[in-house]
């Protein structure tokens, strides 16, 4: 690229100034620079402090991860379970179930997402804002997968690159709400937060803990 730029500038200078000698753009004599051995601060007494401050601010503090570490984080939009004993029983039941997504599948998705971030693949993500127990049937699952596969084929041939398919499904049974309560005709009840918490009918909460077991059971066929 440098050779091309030099050639174009030389020809242009010959056309504009035909009687002047051509001046070389690059100096043929090598320049000798003194190597930089060290860089010192203006005040040596403050250099160690500034280094310590920079090191402490940039070095991440290691966090000891555990299965219970997520409970120490602040979480918003959480439902209020009326019976802690029933909730603990449901959580123990869920712990005995196999995972919806296995570790190998998660690592494979990370690799595909990395390819998409580098421009080597196209990311196609589809699904509902919130899934519903009422729409859980074989026809809806088949049509959703068919649509994603058809879209991926079109994108693959149109973009001439592989397509990483990700489904926003198999667990999208909850949604955030701006107001935790809803009032109708003078009656104030909890807002609909998704089938994982309560139903869409305007009625008091019931069976809120056991809904989590049903949502887990309906998520497995989508991942199989």
Annotated binding-site ranges for phosphoenolpyruvate = 168
Instruction: Give, in order, the Cα–Cα distances in Å from 155 to each of 10, 46, 112, 161.
Output: 47, 58, 16, 8
The two tokens of residue 71 are 């409970």
89 half-sphere exposure, CB direction, 13 A CA radius: 9
| Selection from 38, 37, 13 nearest residue 25 by Cα | 13
Write the DSSP assignment of 45-114 as a string of letters.
HHHHHHHHHHHHHHSPPP----TTGGGGS---S----S-HHHHHHHHHHHHTSPPSS-HHHHHHHHHHHH
Binding residues: 168
């Amino acid at each position: 690229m440098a050779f091309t730029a030099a050639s174009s500038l030389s020809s242009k200078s010959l056309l504009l100034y035909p009687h002047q000698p051509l001046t070389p753009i690059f100096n043929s004599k090598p320049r000798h620079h003194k190597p930089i051995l060290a860089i010192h601060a203006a005040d040596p007494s403050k250099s160690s402090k500034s280094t310590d401050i920079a090191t402490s601010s940039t070095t991440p503090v290691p966090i000891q991860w555990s299965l219970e570490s997520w409970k120490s984080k602040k979480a918003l939009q959480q439902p209020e379970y009326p019976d802690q004993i029933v909730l603990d029983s449901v959580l123990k039941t869920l712990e005995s179930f196999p995972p919806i997504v296995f570790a190998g599948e998660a690592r494979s998705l990370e690799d595909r997402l990395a390819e998409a971030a580098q421009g080597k693949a196209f990311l196609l993500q589809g699904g509902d804002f919130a899934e519903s127990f009422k729409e859980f049937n074989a026809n809806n699952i088949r049509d959703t997968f068919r649509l994603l596969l058809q879209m991926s084929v079109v994108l693959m041939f149109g973009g001439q690159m592989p397509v990483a398919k990700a489904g926003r499904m198999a667990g999208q049974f909850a949604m955030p709400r701006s107001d935790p309560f809803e009032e109708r005709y003078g009656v104030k009840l909890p807002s609909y937060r998704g089938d994982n918490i309560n139903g869409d009918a305007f009625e008091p909460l019931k069976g809120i803990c056991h809904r989590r077991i049903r949502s887990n059971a309906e998520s497995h066929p989508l991942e199989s």
